Amino acid sequence: MTAILRAALIALASLLSWHAAADGAPRRVALDYAPAPVDNPLKGLAPYSAKGSDPFPHSLEFNYVPFSALVTGPEQYDWTPIETLLDAAAKCGHQAIFRVFLEFPGRTNVIPAFLIEDGLKVYDYVNTNTQPLASIQVETPDYSNPDLRKAMTQFILALGRRYDGDTRIGFITAGLLGSWGEWHDYPRNELFASKEVQTEVMNAYEAAFKTTPILVRYPTGQGETENAPNATRRFGYHDDSFAWATLDTGRKGDEWFFMARMNAAGPEALNKWKTEPIGGEIRPEAWGKVFDADPGDKHIQDFGKCVEVTHVTWLMDSGMFPSVTLKPNAKRIKRAEEEVRRMGYEFHVPAVTISPVANETLPVKVEVENRGVAPFYYDWPVEFGLLGADGRVIKTFNSTDKLSGLLPGDPRRVWEEKLALKGLKVGMYKLALRVPNPLPKGLPVRFANKTQDQDAFGWLTLTSGTWR
C-alpha cells in the first residue's frame, strides 16, 4: 500500500466518523502515538546563552548574572544584563533561565562596591572545590552584614515586581548565596550564610514571585544544622551534579547526593515535582559521555534512572553543544535525543469524540494523558481550530482547558468543548488542537501524536469532516 493511498484511507475513515456523528450517536476516533519533539518548550537541555544557536534541539537557554552588574546602589538597579539575556534568547524563540550570584570562583568585582565601601567584609581565599578545573581564588562576602542582607531582600522584591510572569523567562534559580549561587561554600562551610539569612532570602522570593517558578539548590527538611528548611515552601529544586551525585547510594560520605537529601527531607520534598519543577546541571565531568552506551567513568550514574527518580524537567548542559573540546558524534546525538525526550512532560491524545451538531454547535471531547516524568508547570492557553484543506486556519476557538497539573500515571483528562460554528461556510474542515507559547516566536507545546504538525505547524490534527 502506498503512503498516498494509506493517507487517503485514513482521511476517509475520519470523514466517515464525522458524518456518522452528524447523523447519530457520538463517535470516538483513536489517534496514534509518535514521540514528541525533543525541543518542546520549557523542558530538555539548556545551553549557556552564548551557545543558543547551536544545533542540538532545545527551547531553553541559561546564564549567570553578577549581583554587582544589577545592584548599583541602595535600591538602585540596572536591569540591562537581564534584558540583554532575555531578549537574545527570545529572539531565538527560547525561554531563559538565569541565576544571580555574589561569589564565583575565578571572578572578581561581583560584590557591589558600595557595600564594601560601607564596611562589608570580604574573605579572599583559594577555593579547592572547583573540579574538574584547578583550584582558584574566590571572594566570599560576610553574609551576616545587615547592609548586604537588606540589599539582597530589596533586590529580590524589585526583581519580582519587574519579572514575575515575564514570558521570556522559563525558570529562575534562587542563587545569591554561596559559590556559584549554589547555597554552599564547601569546604569553607563556616563562611556560608546562616539559616536566618537563608530564611530571609527564601521569604523574599516567596513574596516576590507568584507565577515564575523559583528553584533552590538543596532539598532540606526540619532539623538540619546548616540549611534552613524548604520542603514545604513553594520552590522547586535544582541538582547541579546531575548523573554524578544524583542517585542515593546509601554510602557514607554521599549524604549530600541529591536523592539522599530528598529522602532525608521527607515526603514533602519527594513529592515536590508534582507542583514545582526540578532542574539542574549535568555534572561537567559527565558532559557528553553521560549519553554514551558506555560512559567510560564509574562515577557517572545512569541518566535514565536519574531522570526517573528526580522527575527532572530541564538541565543545564554543555556536552551536546559543540565547542573546541566537545564535538558530539551522530551516535551520541541520537542517544541524547532519546534520553532528553524523556525529561519533563510528554502529552499524548489517544482519542477524540465528536457528537452530532446541534444548534450550530459541535460538541467535542478530547482525551489527554501525560507519558513523561513530570507535569507542565504553566497555564498556557489551549485552542481548538478548524483548518482548511491547505492547512490554513479558518476559525479558532478559545478553551478553558489546561495542561497544568496532569501527572504521569494520572487517568486521562477529558476536555469537553462546544464549538460555535455559526457563520462558518459549508465545507470540509480538519478539527485541530494547539497550545501556543505566549512568547512571540516561542515554540508551541506539541503532542506525542502522528498527526501533530501534519497539516499546520503547532496544530494537532484530530479528525476531519464536513459540517452542514
Question: What does the pLDDT read at residue 7?
Answer: 45
Q: Is 235 helix (H, G, I), strand (E, B) or coil?
A: coil
Question: What does the pLDDT read at residue 136?
Answer: 85
Question: What does the pLDDT read at residue 54?
Answer: 60
Q: Is 241 helix (H, G, I), strand (E, B) or coil?
A: strand
| Domain membership of residue 306 as a residue range | 44-341
Phi, psi of 203 (to 5 degrees): -60, -40
Cα Rg of the chain (Å, integer): 25
**214 and 152 together in one domain:** yes
**144 and 20 together in one domain:** no
Q: What angle do CA 47, 336, 251 make, to 5 degrees?
A: 90
**373 and 237 together in one domain:** no
**309 and 403 together in one domain:** no
Question: What does the pLDDT read at residue 3?
Answer: 47
Q: Do 18 and 466 touch, CB atoms closer than 8 A?
A: yes
Residue 44, by phi and psi: left (phi above 0), alpha (psi -120 to 50) or beta? left
Query: What is the C-alpha separation between 371 and 445, in angstroms, rounded?
Result: 14
Number of domains in the chain: 2
Q: Give the CATH number for residue 382.
A: 2.60.40
Question: What does the pLDDT read at residue 396?
Answer: 94
Burial of 331 (0-12, 13-18, 19+ CB in 10 A): exposed
Residues 6+ apart with CB under 8 A from 156: 176, 201, 204, 205, 208
Taking alpha carbons only, the member of 363, 460, 355, 465 closest to residue 403 is 460
Question: What does the pLDDT read at residue 466?
Answer: 67
Question: What does the pLDDT read at residue 8?
Answer: 44
Question: What does the pLDDT read at residue 6?
Answer: 46
Q: Do 279 and 97 touch, CB atoms closer than 8 A?
A: yes
Q: Give the CATH number for residue 303.
A: 3.20.20
Kindly provide the residue ranges of all beta strands, DSSP E only, lying in 18-154, ordered along the sequence. 27-30, 44-46, 60-66, 71-73, 76-77, 95-101, 122-127, 136-141
**198 and 153 together in one domain:** yes
Question: What does the pLDDT read at residue 165?
Answer: 97
Query: What is the C-alpha separation between 105 and 288, in angstroms, rounded?
Result: 24
**420 and 318 together in one domain:** no
Looking up cell 546525538, which residue turns up?
333
- Position 354: which residue type? I
Give the global pTM: 0.91
**323 and 420 together in one domain:** no
Q: Do 15 and 9 touch, CB atoms closer than 8 A?
A: no
**399 and 312 together in one domain:** no
Kindly provide the residue ranges of all beta strands, DSSP E only, lying in 245-360, ordered along the sequence. 278-282, 314-316, 347-354
Residue 268: how many other CB atoms lie within 10 Å: 15
Q: Do 313 and 374 touch, CB atoms closer than 8 A?
A: yes
Tens digit of pLDDT at every position of the chain (468 positions): 454 444 444 444 444 344 444 457 888 999 999 999 999 999 999 998 865 456 799 999 999 999 999 999 999 999 999 999 999 999 999 999 999 999 999 899 999 999 999 999 999 988 888 778 788 888 999 999 999 999 999 999 999 999 999 999 999 999 999 999 999 998 998 999 999 999 999 999 999 999 999 999 999 999 888 899 999 999 999 999 999 999 999 999 999 999 999 999 999 999 999 999 999 999 999 999 999 999 999 999 999 999 999 999 999 998 898 765 667 788 999 999 999 999 999 999 999 999 988 888 999 999 999 999 999 999 999 999 999 988 999 999 999 999 999 999 999 999 999 999 988 888 889 999 999 999 999 999 999 999 999 999 999 999 987 655
**335 and 384 together in one domain:** no
**140 and 214 together in one domain:** yes
**64 and 140 together in one domain:** yes
Query: What is the C-alpha separation between 61 and 44, in angstroms, rounded?
Result: 10
Which residues does residue 97 pair with via DSSP β-bridges, in sequence order? 62, 171
